[in-house]
Structure 1
Amino acid sequence: MSIWRVLLTIIFPPLSVLDKGCGSIIIVFILWICGWVPGTIAALVILNNPDRH
């Protein structure tokens, strides 16, 4: 994961998971609306998951 992806995750988490699929975007967006921290953590977990490419 690049430093730019991490910075994008901190600034706007749904945008950082655009290439991971529609379900990931929706989940991260809903969590991000509920609070910045849950959305950021969810985006980092999705980006660091080695099973998803």
Structure 2
Amino acid sequence: MADFIRIIIAILLPPLGVFLQVGIGGHFWLNILLTLCGYVPGIVHAVWVIAKK
């Protein structure tokens, strides 16, 4: 259930979803960069990080 909520948050605000899953680290900063380059790449990366853990 918690992963489902994180995925919903990741769709709305990708860096927050990644932060809730892994904290501030490499994946978080990469997700911010991807979100700035385009919203969809940020979402894809965030969902991938959440599903992987």
TM range (shorter): 0.7 to 0.9
Higher helix share: 2
Gaps of 5+ in 1: none
Partner of 2:7: 6
> How far apart, CA to CA, are the structure 1 residues paired with 2:22 and 2:8?
17
Paired positions, count: 50
> How far apart, CA to CA, are the structure 2 residues paired with 1:2 and 1:49?
11
Q: Give percent identity, aligned residues only.
A: 30
Gaps of 5+ in 2: none
Q: What value does the CA root-mean-square deviation take over the aligned residues?
A: 1.5
Q: How high is the TM-score relative to the length of structure 2?
A: 0.80
> How far apart, CA to CA, are the structure 2 residues paired with 1:9 and 1:2?
10
Q: Which structure's relative contact order is higher, taking Cα pairs within 8 Å and 6+ residues apart?
A: 2
Q: How high is the TM-score relative to the length of structure 1?
A: 0.80
Moved over 6 A (4+): none
